[in-house]
Amino acid sequence: MHSMLKKPTISLVAAAGALIGLGAAPANAQDRHVAIVNETQHAIVQFYASNVERGTWEEDILGEAVLPVGQTANINIDDGSEACMYDFKAVFDDGEELVRNGINVCTTSTYTYTEG
């Protein structure tokens, strides 16, 4: 069964100062764009961001793309639910998975994956 919610979208950021999604938004709207930074030694081959109230992971936001080492992806986490709290899961090219729970995408503009 298909969900009626919008799938989060991704665009690779070419420069730190890139402006994405220029447009007027209502004063009470929350920005749910998060720059995902890969400062590990492995490419991120899958990335998931699921509303904490869901019991399962949503679709892989990267799809066929990968997030190479040292690169940043600007992800629109907005799924239409107006939720701010999300769980993130990154899957790396060596098979390792990192899950981070309870990320507030309304107040977090950058999330960095690092070694360690």
Tens of pLDDT, residue by residue over 87-110, are: 999 999 999 999 999 999 999 999
Q: Is the pLDDT of residue 59 over 70?
A: yes
- Contact criterion met (CB below 8 Å) for 38 and 96: no
Q: Domain 9-15+31-114: which topology? A: Immunoglobulin-like (2.60.40)
Q: Is the pLDDT of residue 14 over 60?
A: no
Which among 45, 58, 49 is positioned nearest to 106, based on CA atoms? 49
pLDDT at 20: 34
Q: In this structure, how many other beta carbons lie within 10 angstroms of the beta carbon of residue 84?
A: 16
Encoded tokens for 70: 């040292």
- Contact criterion met (CB below 8 Å) for 75 and 13: no
pLDDT at 47: 97
Q: Please tell me the distance from the alpha carbon of residue 46 to that of residue 62, in angstroms, as a whole number.
A: 6
Q: Is the pLDDT of residue 115 over 60?
A: yes
